[in-house]
Structure 1
Amino acid sequence: MPKARKSQISLSDTPFYHCVSRCVRRAFLCGEENGRSFEHRRQWVEDRIHVLSEVFAIDVCAYAVMSNHTHLVLHVNKEKADALSTEDVIKRWHKLYKGTLLSKRYISPDSCKDLHEIQIKTVEITAEVWRKRLFDISWFMRALNEYIARAANKEDNCTGHFWEGRFKSQALLDESAVAACMAYVDLNPVRAKIAKTPETSDHTSIKYRINAAKVGKTPKRLMPFAGNPR
């Protein structure tokens, strides 16, 4: 019997996790099928990962978008979430979801001053729920996979499951495990022989890092390396 998600993710043991999602329609995530190309969906996934990295208090260490599955190495930054103000939490949440009528009024300079004490307390309680979700890997993966599933189903003019069950997660308990897993993820296209080098591995974090390094920058949407990496 598979373990419950809460037993697979334990922040007291490690904040680093390797997550894998596989498409139930196999070759229909990306690639080509019956003369029809789905390669543009790789960019959907990569763009969505970048958006979520700026909303959630979860750092993206590595990713690779393959033909029928995705790999992500994530770092849960609970301290970052705890440091956010109530207003910051609400603004982040509103980037992905509608929120509530009260939360919209709370962050509006014009209507915020008209809120009663009980209404403000209600917003603060709701924001605390959202704060916990902002460092919850399940919510991160949900915001990624549901978005892609809806877009793909709309394009295919169909309904039903797009992903093969829930994502799989593996705890990375020390630095060597994190480094090894990042290398495994980044080299997936090379190993699968769809790219010759990391520099030509489209829709991977390693190519994103390399492109930033070429112009002397740190990739904005990826967790930075400590020290002076080469």
Structure 2
Amino acid sequence: MPIARKSLVSLEATPYYHIVSRCCRRCFILGKDAITKKDYSHRQKWIENRLEELPKIFNIKIASYAIMSNHFHLVVFIDQEESKQLTDLEIALRWHQLYKVTMLTQKFANGENLSKVELDAVTIKINEWRERLLDLV
């Protein structure tokens, strides 16, 4: 029986992980389909483009990758040191590139004055995001 990924990841053991992602129903949607003879190889570039963009946001770096016709492999490095060195503002700006923002974190990112209570709420949220930017799960 498969084991949940959160049970397998231990940053104390190693920061490197091998990830495999298969296409739905193992269809050949990233290369030539053996049955229909259609060529979907152009989709591989979509994945490559995303693999170039996401490490700029997350603290997970791509060590190597291979894109096959119905799945792909990644070897990733989880960069805890980079995460520790990022300021709260840098974490907020990275998170805002991918996800909807709250009014408070938007005010924080724009440099607006926040009350003590608002700043505490933003700090809690940013600490959560800092963890998520390192998370494979």
Which runs of structure 2 are paired with 1:152-171 in the superposition (5 Å)?
none
Q: CA RMSD in A?
A: 1.4
Q: How many residues align?
A: 135
Give distance in 1, aligned partners of 2:61 and 2:32: 31
Secondary structure at the aligned position of 2:3 is classed as coil
Give the equivalent residue in structure 2 for 1:134. Answer: 133
Give distance in 2, aligned partners of 1:29 and 1:93: 30
Give the equivalent residue in structure 1 for 2:117. Answer: 118
Give the equivalent residue in structure 2 for 1:71. Answer: 73
1:81 paired to 2:83: yes
Q: TM-score, normalised by structure 2?
A: 0.91
Give distance in 2, aligned partners of 1:101 and 1:32: 46
1:94 paired to 2:90: no
Give the equivalent residue in structure 2 for 1:57. Answer: 59
Shift of 1:130: 0.4
Identical-pair percentage: 41
Question: Runs of at least 4 residues of structure 1 off by over 3 A?
Answer: none
Shift of 1:35: 5.0
1:18 paired to 2:18: yes
Unaligned runs of 5+ in 1: 139-230
Unaligned runs of 5+ in 2: none
Shift of 1:116: 1.4
Give distance in 2, aligned partners of 1:103 and 1:66: 40
Give distance in 2, aligned partners of 1:100 and 1:29: 36
Shift of 1:4: 2.2
Shift of 1:122: 0.5
Q: TM-score, normalised by structure 1?
A: 0.56
